[in-house]
Chains A and B, each alone.
Chain A
Amino acid sequence: MANESHKLPIVNFTPEMKETHTLLVPMMLPIHFELIEGIIRQEGYKTELLRTNHKEIAEEGLRNVHNDTCYPALLIIGQFIDALKSGKYDLDKVAVFLTQTGGGCRASNYLSLLRKALHKNGFGHVPVASFNISAPTGAGGVYLRKRTLVKIVFSLMYGDILMRLHNQCIPYELERGSSQKVVDTWVAKLLEQMRGAKFTQTKANCKAILADFAAIQRDTSRTKMKVGIVGEIYIKYSPLGNNGLEQYLVDQGAEVINSGMLEFAMYRLHSMIHECKLYGGSLKRRIILRTIMNYFEKKQRELITIIKNSGVFDAPTEFIHTMNMCKGYLDFGVKMGEGWLLTAEMLELIHIGINNIVAVQPFGCLPNHIVAKGMSRKIKDNFPSANIVTIDYDPGASVINQENRLRLMLANAN
């Protein structure tokens, strides 16, 4: 350890590598990431979404990351190292893909932790690719043309709607797997559209998606308890991180409600705007941010109207409405991690009558001490019927303990 040079050499992903190297992409949300992976692939990159889900991943993580680092970092890095060690890839022709996140949370250090881990395992020469927004010839990773960026934004929207409808169908489907089939068909269809220019037809697409889900044979007489999931983004979505939480809840006879990526993106945008208000910022910056925000808000309203008009499925709540829920609880200045959005989401769920809430987080997650655990009591005081269970995930936590607490929540479900 002592002999290593302190600052590790950064091996960049160069444009030439586009032809030769396979990019390993970590999995978080199955539907969204399949779409994003597809888009990157269409840009001519060789990609592979890591779907591995075995015990050794966490072990690899434990060996390579400080054990007190948060669980998502441990899993993502463990998954990469595990893949590189698997012998499946030509180590001179493989790169790993991870984007830099910002903010005051320790998660912003994933990238440097990954570099360290690669180096320590003798994979120091494996390039770490990120998004590159500078120029087509620039180094760093996947070059994001404006057009590609727009595609990714759209794929988030499409991913959200597919995920939402899939969640609403799966507990009721008569033929097992029929909801997943609609998802798969649409992922393929949307990617095909993205090749061309047709993908912006959100209205038409959404209507067609809704019709396809509505056509699934469902037994709506089944009564299911509705359970909302909120929490740290990776643990909330990734089955690897939450030990298959969604599936477990569905198996236990619940319908899962999960908010989408669009809301998260809007929360980040809003934070940037609010930041200017609190600490100052240029007018130009504010106007640009506001314009993007307005666009998102408009798009979201469109989708909500379409879902509502179809009359079959539940629509998401408007962002601005969710946002206002947390007034009296937290200031919008709370912007690290999931920030005020998490509290607002819990309140929003209760507001629409879903009292059963699972709040998930990596063990010792700092922002969640504030926005989840720190606010639970006040929420319960104000809404006595709220049935909130907070669950910590980490490599040592046993599944039985987690399931026992989920069962307690389910036993009290209302």
Chain B
Amino acid sequence: MSTTKILTRGLHSLRSTSTLATWNRSFSIISTSRNIPIASRPKIITPPRNCAASSSPTFRSFSTSRIQQHGHITPPKPGEELYVTFIDKDDKEHKIAVSAGDNLLDIAQANDLEMEGACGGSCACSTCHVIVLDEDCYDKMPEPEDDENDMLDLAFGLTETSRLGCQVVMTKELDGLRVKLPSMTRNLQASDFSQK
């Protein structure tokens, strides 16, 4: 998508609803089948109720999105970005603007975060284990299915708010979500060894 188009779409969402129709007509070329119909877009732009402790920015400059072209993540539309923060095992925070409908595994992989997804996101391993940091936010997610819980049971460092990244799909309710990536390599073997 060209910069001009991003800018116009950003402006688009800033305009009042009365002018949306006109904008839509004149820029119909940017509409794709994935675009949400105008009518269903939020009419009043207010920070949605979400997972962020403080109000998460609904508007950000359009150029900050780090999302790159990728088969599985949709670049967020300006004004419709949801934010998710990954805290990696070195405690470094990565705040990422994403679209509703993308799952945490795809988001992490598209952004070069260290999350494996050995089974390709098919809920058959536990390598995309994440720990949801806010309990309220965890409660807003649909309950994990048996399959997911079965895999979580095998995850190293399981917590009360653990989920599999491939099963957590971003929604507006989850805007501001913060998740921790557990350390992948365990040091147990070394301590086992020293006891011998």
**Mutual binders A and B:** no
